Amino acid sequence: MAEEVQYTEDNIRSLDWKEHIRMRPGMYIGKLGDGSAYDDGIYVLLKEVLDNSIDEFVMGNGRTIEVTIKDKTVKVRDYGRGVPLGKVVDVVSKINTGGKYDSKAFKKSVGLNGVGTKAVNALSSMFRIESSRDEKWKAAEFSRGELTEDTDIEESSRRKGTKVVFMPDEDIFHNYQYRTQHVERMLWNYVYLNRGLTIIFNGEKYHSERGLYDLLEKNMSDEPLYPIIHLEDEDIEVAITHTNSYGEEYYSFVNGQHTTQGGTHQGAFREALVKTIRDHFQKDYDARDVRSSVVAAIAVKVMEPVFESQTKTKLGSNDVGPDGPSMRAFVNDFLKKHLDNFLHKNPEVAEALQKKIMQSERERKDLAGIKKLARKRAKEVSLHNKKLRDCRIHFNNDKKERNEETTLFITEGDSASGSITKVRDVNTQAVFSLKGKPLNSYGLTKKIVYENEEFNLLQAALNIEDGLDDLRYNNVVLATDADVDGMHIRLLLITFFLQFFPDLVKNGHLYVLATPLFRVRDKKQTFYCYSEEERKDALKQLKGKPEITRFKGLGEISPDEFKNFIGEDIRLEPVVIGKEQSVNDLLKFYMGKNTPDRQEFIIENLKVEQDLIEDAEVA
């Protein structure tokens, strides 16, 4: 008979604030990650510190914020009022302590629960805060939430403001690194939402005078079909245009917070945009045709916003304040007045907009018949083959929220897909096996997505025909060989997504699986090396003449070894679109007709690859 488990007062334990945060970090900062995704925890830590500096700017204190990231150490210095010196320790170590509870001081603040910097403190191996105020200065330092230094208040000539220095704890954030492109994206959004603010990041200046207009202008990867429409009123600002890209692209914000998963304000905007345009043109256009290829940004300020998670990526509030109108009415009334007026005053823009809507309508109707047949074919094929080895979990909370861990590996051939399938996490990891090389889709219309079996099945597996709302996997991972053929397949797949589903890439869902280039081992130790530098480091640690294996194909890696590369220590490289050139120009260079420039680029990169192989063979 099993021993009876006792349940007494001795079993009840209360965790202090730092223990609870460290034990359940996901409750406070979302997913942990290694920094490859823009919403990984290390960026949430940076955001939580920056939010306090931004709130100071909003209240009219300090127009410059300095941010430095070097060797995993983050420094944020503002020139606001400075934390009251007697509360320097409390504001970063006592839950439910902070100035934002005083609604008179922070009426429309980013964070209201007094947890942010406490989470940063608890999840950092080193956390230091300094405050200069009233010609006096005080500092406190912590390690994993434990106070290690508490200085006395002293006279000082330092400029007023607050300085925070922290280093995320490597016991919690494994193998992490800050990616410059993700930090830049965050900082640009801050200055777009706070015109007049200057952020200095590692010596580079970030500043905006036109707000959301600048945001669209900088982030659009294709030329707009008409000049950006920029509208604003008290507590709301929008910018709108259309391009020739597929899909819908939105940038939404609440009280300066980038709501990457949208929410009630973004939903209200999508609905109001359709209604306003229908009323203006007095045509009952299909909502899909109005929103097709739209690029828009919306920022609202509300009282006491309610978010659906601590990381504040999705707004849940249905109104703009305790006594204000509903979010739906607020956004609709704004667009009904301002967008309608703008279109009346700018008939050339109205004409271009209507022309785009009618073009989308024609394309949708042309595809209607083939779509129906393609869906039927995709269903039949999926039932009779093993192209998709699905996972068990896709959504949380009765399909309201996509599970962040869900991953689809897109592989080439049966060997690689077989290895991944044998060792994957069947709950959250799925495998899609390609048959041969995909078609080069550059310059083709969306009709090919339904006519081509591979593209049709891939679209059906992802469930992205009508946008990203029902995307079944949070991470779409290209798992191809590290040889010329594998690189070509990877490029063809990226072309497919950029051509027809650019919002999948722009919203940070597309990755490349990093697998080791070399295995270096002797009789006692084995090192998997992802770069030439790691290979050289491994050789230094091994004595004698170790065995060096150069992996070219995923099929060469045994399932037992593969387990190391798609588990807790998985390395994913995000596919990020540069802002220097349009998506169309990018695809034209890589996937269009041969040009001398591209030939030179390929030859040079093949030379680098060959040198890598030769160096390994010599060693």
Q: According to the model, what pLDDT value does residue 264 have?
A: 92
- 102-106, 187-191, 266-270: segment of lowest average pLDDT: 102-106
Residue-wise pLDDT tens digits, 454-502 = 999 999 999 998 888 889 999 999 998 877 888 889 989 999 998 899 8
Residues 246 and 320 placed together within one structural domain of the fold: yes
250 contacts 265 by C-beta, under 8 angstroms: no
The stretch 351-379 carries a mean pLDDT of 89
Measured between alpha carbons, how far is residue 393 from residues 35, 386, 398, 406, 474 in Å?
24, 18, 11, 7, 11
Q: What is the mean pLDDT of the chain?
A: 85
Report if residue 11 sits inside a domain: no
Residues 167 and 234 placed together within one structural domain of the fold: no
303 contacts 318 by C-beta, under 8 angstroms: no
Report if residue 259 sits inside a domain: yes
274 contacts 285 by C-beta, under 8 angstroms: yes
| Number of domains present in the structure of the chain | 5
Residues 495 and 522 placed together within one structural domain of the fold: no
Measured between alpha carbons, how far is residue 403 from residues 45, 216, 465 in Å?
21, 29, 19
Three-class SS string for 167-215? EECCCCCCCCCCCHHHHHHHHHHHHHHCCCCEEEECCEEEECCCCHHHH
Residue-wise pLDDT tens digits, 122-149 = 999 999 999 999 999 999 999 999 999 9
Q: 283 versus 34: which is more confidently predicted? A: 283
- CATH number for the domain harbouring residue 80: 3.30.565.10
Report if residue 377 sits inside a domain: no
Determine the angle formed by the axes of helices 347-384 and 327-345, rounding to 10 degrees: 130
- CATH number for the domain harbouring residue 336: 3.30.230.10
Residue-wise pLDDT tens digits, 512-527 = 998 888 999 998 899 9
Q: 109 versus 32: which is more confidently predicted? A: 32
Residues 183 and 44 placed together within one structural domain of the fold: yes
End-to-end CA distance of the chain: 62
Q: Is the pLDDT of residue 398 over 80?
A: no
Report if residue 343 sits inside a domain: yes
Q: What percent of the chain has pLDDT over 70?
A: 86
Report d(CA 500, CA 308) in Å as an integer.
30
- Identify the band that residue 612 occupies on the pLDDT scale cut at 50, 70 and 90: very low
Report d(CA 213, CA 224) in Å as an integer.
12
Residues 114 and 235 placed together within one structural domain of the fold: no
Q: Is the pLDDT of residue 619 over 50?
A: no
Report d(CA 430, CA 536) in Å as an integer.
34
Domain boundary among 160, 188, 207: 207
111 contacts 56 by C-beta, under 8 angstroms: no
The stretch 337-345 carries a mean pLDDT of 97
Handedness of CA 152, 153, 158, 164 (dihedral sign): positive
Q: According to the model, what pLDDT value does residue 382 have?
A: 63
Q: Is the pLDDT of residue 8 over 60?
A: no
Residue-wise pLDDT tens digits, 62-113 = 999 999 999 899 999 999 999 999 999 988 988 755 555 454 445 566 554 4
Q: According to the model, what pLDDT value does residue 109 have?
A: 60
Residues 142 and 187 placed together within one structural domain of the fold: yes
Q: According to the model, what pLDDT value does residue 583 have?
A: 67
Residues 218 and 181 placed together within one structural domain of the fold: no
- CATH number for the domain harbouring residue 567: 3.40.50.670
Domain of 112, in residue numbers: 17-207
Report if residue 6 sits inside a domain: no
Q: According to the model, what pLDDT value does residue 309 have?
A: 64
39 contacts 175 by C-beta, under 8 angstroms: no
Q: According to the model, what pLDDT value does residue 403 have?
A: 83
Residues 34 and 102 placed together within one structural domain of the fold: yes
CA nearest 608: which of 512, 498, 517?
517
- Identify the band that residue 280 occupies on the pLDDT scale cut at 50, 70 and 90: very high
Q: Is the pLDDT of residue 613 over 50?
A: no
Beta-carbon contacts of 544 under 8 Å, excluding residues fewer than 6 positions away, are: 522
Residues 285 and 340 placed together within one structural domain of the fold: yes
The stretch 37-58 carries a mean pLDDT of 91
Residue-wise pLDDT tens digits, 560-602 = 888 888 887 788 888 887 655 566 666 766 676 656 665 565 5
Q: According to the model, what pLDDT value does residue 296 have?
A: 96
Residues 477 and 490 placed together within one structural domain of the fold: yes
Handedness of CA 148, 152, 154, 160 (dihedral sign): positive
Determine the angle formed by the axes of helices 484-500 and 583-591, rounding to 10 degrees: 150
Structure token pair of residue 8:
């007494």
Q: Is the pLDDT of residue 399 over 90?
A: no
Residues 509 and 564 placed together within one structural domain of the fold: yes
Q: According to the model, what pLDDT value does residue 483 have?
A: 78
Domain boundary among 191, 207, 223: 207
98 contacts 118 by C-beta, under 8 angstroms: no
Q: According to the model, what pLDDT value does residue 523 have?
A: 87
Q: Is 399 exposed, middle or buried (0-12, 13-18, 19+ CB in 10 A)?
A: exposed
Report d(CA 455, CA 577) in Å as an integer.
22
Report if residue 76 sits inside a domain: yes
Report if residue 225 sits inside a domain: yes
84 contacts 133 by C-beta, under 8 angstroms: yes
Report d(CA 200, CA 439) in Å as an integer.
44
Domain boundary among 297, 331, 363: 363
Report if residue 245 sits inside a domain: yes
Residues 454 and 397 placed together within one structural domain of the fold: yes
Q: 523 versus 618: which is more confidently predicted? A: 523
- Identify the band that residue 350 occupies on the pLDDT scale cut at 50, 70 and 90: very high
Q: According to the model, what pLDDT value does residue 582 have?
A: 64
Q: C-alpha angle with apex 463: 41 to 419, nearest 5 degrees? A: 70
